[in-house]
Chain A
Amino acid sequence: MSLPCGVYNETYTKDFALARTKTHWGLLIGWVVLVMALPLFIGPTLMSWLTLVGITAFSSLGLHIITGLCGQMSIGHTAFMAVGAFTYANLAKYGLHWIFAIIVSGIYGALVGTLFGLPSLKVKELYLALTTLAAQFIIPWVLLEYFGGGFGVVPPDPEIFGIVLKKHYHFYYLAWIFTLVFTYFVFNLGRTKMGRAYKAIRDHDLAAEAMGINVGLYKVSSFTLGCFIAGIAGALLVIWIGRADVEHFTIMESIWYLAFIIVGGAGSVAGVFFGVLFIRGLWELSVILSGVLIEGFPALPESLTSAVPTILVAGVIIVFVILEPRGLNHRWAIFKESYRLWPWSYW
C-alpha cells in the first residue's frame, strides 16, 4: 500500500495495520456509517436493490476465496448457495431457531463444497471447473427431487428480540452486517499464512508445492471456506425473498458470479464490490432502459427486457477480459496513484 508523502511505517504493528492514517480511519468510519445510515434516506426500491447487492457481494466473497485467491475456477457457485438456501428453509420450517439455521446452512454448504472440491486433488484447472459445472446440475436436481424444490420451501419469518423481520430495512441491515463482518474476515484471510498459500497456488502450483505448501489440502480448503460463505449467502437470500426455489440458482447465475469477480478484478476484495455494483447497476439500468424502449416502440418483442440486459452484461464481460483483464480494481488503483501524485502524476 502506498502511503501519502511523509508517512512512513516505523513499527511492525504499523506496517500490518489496515487503516494507517487519519484519512484512512475517516474514510473507513465514513463508509460504515454511510452504509448503516442509508436506509433513513432512500426508498424501498433502491433499498431492496441494495439488499440484493449486499447479498450478492457477500456470496461473491466466497467465490473470491475460491477463484480470486486460490485460482480454482468454480462454475457452480449458486449450486452451493442453493444447498444453504434449502438447508435454511427446511430447518427453519421445522422450528430451528433461524440464527442456528443460518450457521447450519453454512456448514452444509461447506460440506457439499468440500465434496465437489475433492476432485481438485486429482484434476486441475478446466477439469475442475467441469466438476463444479456438474455440481451446478446435480445439486439443484437433488434439491428439486428430495428437498421440496418444486413448489419452493417457505420458511417462517425470522424473529429477533420480539421483532419479526419482514420490513425492507430489516433485510438491508441483515445483509449488510453480514457482508461488512465477512469483508473484514476475508480481507484478513488474504494476509494470513493460509491466504498467502492460496495466492502461491494460484500463481504457480508447482512452485508452491516445492515450497512445502500442501497444495491438495489448500485447494480443498478453499472450497470449504468459499462454500461456507455461499451457504450462508443462500440462507440470507431465502430470508430476503421469503422462499427457497431452485429457480434462483441456475447456471446463468453462476456465470454472473464469475463475472462479478472478473470485472471487478480477480484477487482483490475491493474488486468484488466494484464488480457487483457495476454489473448489478448495469443490469438495473438496462432493464429500465428496455422498459422505456418497449413503451416507446410496442412493435419490439416482449423478451427485450430480459434479453437486452443479458447481452449487455455478456458484452461487458467480454470487453473486460480482452481489454482490462485486471478489472475495475486496477483502474481504481491507477486513479488512486495519480491522485496521490497529483499534480505531478504521469499516467
Chain B
Amino acid sequence: MLDSILFSVFPGIVNGCVYALIGVGFIMIRKTSGVFNLAQGQIVIFGCYIFYSFGVDIGLPIWGSILGSMVVGITLGVLVERGLMRPLYGQPIMASVIITLAFALFLEGILSLGWGNEFLVAPRIFPRGVAVRIMSATISYDQAAIIFFTIVMFALIIYFFRKARMGIAMMAVSEDQTTSQSLGIKVARLVAISWAVACALGALGGILITNISGIHYSMTEIGIKAIAVAIIGGFESFGGLLIAGLLVGVCESLGIAFIDPYVAGGSVREIVAFVLMTIILMTKPYGLFGWEKIERV
C-alpha cells in the first residue's frame, strides 16, 4: 500500500513543481499589471518548440538551446507587453484578458503551422537512469533535477521579492499602481520585466517537463493548470504557490492510482486541478495562502 502510494506520489511532486514554476510567471504578471495571462500555456509550449528547433534543427548544444529559448521567451514577453498590453492601458481589464485569449489562439495557429501535428522528442538534458530509489518507487535523474531546480528557483524568487530592490518595487506596484508610480517606480518597465520573466520561466519549466514527456501543441493545457494552481495558492505568497502546486500534482497522481480504475475511459488527471480550483474559489476566493481583501459584491 505504502509502496504504491510512494510510487504514484513522486511523479506528482515533479508535475507539481512544474506547475508552480509556470505559475510564478502568471502571478508576476497578475500582480504588476492586473492581467490574467491566459496564453501562458501557449507561451510555454512555444518555448519548448524553440528549444527543439535550436537543439535538433540548428544543432546547438543543450545549454545553448536552453539559453536561446529563454532569450526568445524574454523577447516574446517584451513584445507582447509593448504591442498588445500597452495600447490597453486605461481600458477595462476584461479587454486585456480577451487579448491574451486571442494571443493564445494566435500562438496555437503558429505552433501547428510551424511544427505540425506530431509528437516531437527534444534532445535529452539529463541522462536516463535512477537517481533515488525508495522501496520500489524510483526518481529518475530528470525528475530529481526538476525538483532540485524548482527548490533553487523558489529560494531565489522568495529572496528576490523580500530583499531585492526590484522585487520590493514589484510588490509595491501590485499593492497600488498609481501610488507607486507617483513615488518614482517605473511601472511600465516593471510590467515589461514581469512579462519577460514570466515567458522565460514558463519556457524553462516547459522544457524541463517536455524533456520527460515529449512536445505536442495539445500540451498547452499545462498553462491553464498552472493558473489553477496559482488561484489555489493565492496570489501573495510564493511558498504557498509551491505548496499548492505540490498539492495539485500529488492529488493528480493519487487520482490516477486510486480513482482511475473506477473511471470508464479517460483520466481524472485532466480535471483534478480545475475541481480543486472551483472548490477553493467557492469557499476561499483568495486562495489558501492569499490575503483576504475586504470587498463586497
A-side interface residues toward B, CB under 8 Å?
Answer: 73, 75, 118-119, 122-127, 129-131, 133-134, 137-138, 141, 144-146, 150, 205-206, 209, 215-216, 252, 255, 258-259, 262, 301-304, 306-311, 313-315, 317-318, 321-322, 325
Contact = CB atoms under 8 A, between A and B. Distances in A.
Nearest to A72: B94
B109 A308 contact: yes
Q: Would you call the interface of chain A mostly helix, strand, loop, or mixed?
A: helix
B105 A314 contact: yes
A205 B231 contact: no
Contacts of A321: 88, 95, 98-99, 102
Given A125-B93, A314-B103, A322-B99, A145 B278 contact: no
Contacts of B67: none
A127 B106 contact: no
B277 A130 contact: yes
Interface of B: 36, 38, 84, 87-88, 91, 93-95, 97-99, 101-106, 108-110, 112-113, 116-117, 224, 227-228, 231, 263-266, 270-271, 274-275, 277-278, 281-282, 285, 295-297
A122 B281 contact: yes
B218 to A, nearest CB: 10
20 contacts: A75-B38, A123-B285, A126-B36, A129-B36, A130-B231, A131-B281, A133-B224, A134-B228, A144-B266, A150-B265, A252-B108, A255-B102, A301-B116, A304-B113, A306-B109, A314-B106, A314-B108, A322-B84, A322-B87, A322-B88
Q: Would you call the interface of chain B mostly helix, strand, loop, or mixed?
A: helix
A160 B94 CA distance: 44
A314 B84 CA distance: 12
B291 to A, nearest CB: 15
A96 to B, nearest CB: 24
Q: B93, B94, B227 — which one has the most chain A CB atoms within 10 A of its CB?
A: B94
A131 B108 CA distance: 22
B33 to A, nearest CB: 12
B181 to A, nearest CB: 22
A206 to B, nearest CB: 6
A126 to B, nearest CB: 5
Contact of A119 (B99, B228, B281): B281
B274 A138 contact: yes
Contact of A308 (B98, B113, B277): B113
B102 A259 contact: yes
Contacts of B102: 255, 259, 314-315, 317-318, 321
Given A119-B282, A130-B36, A252-B105, A138 B99 contact: no
A317 B113 contact: no
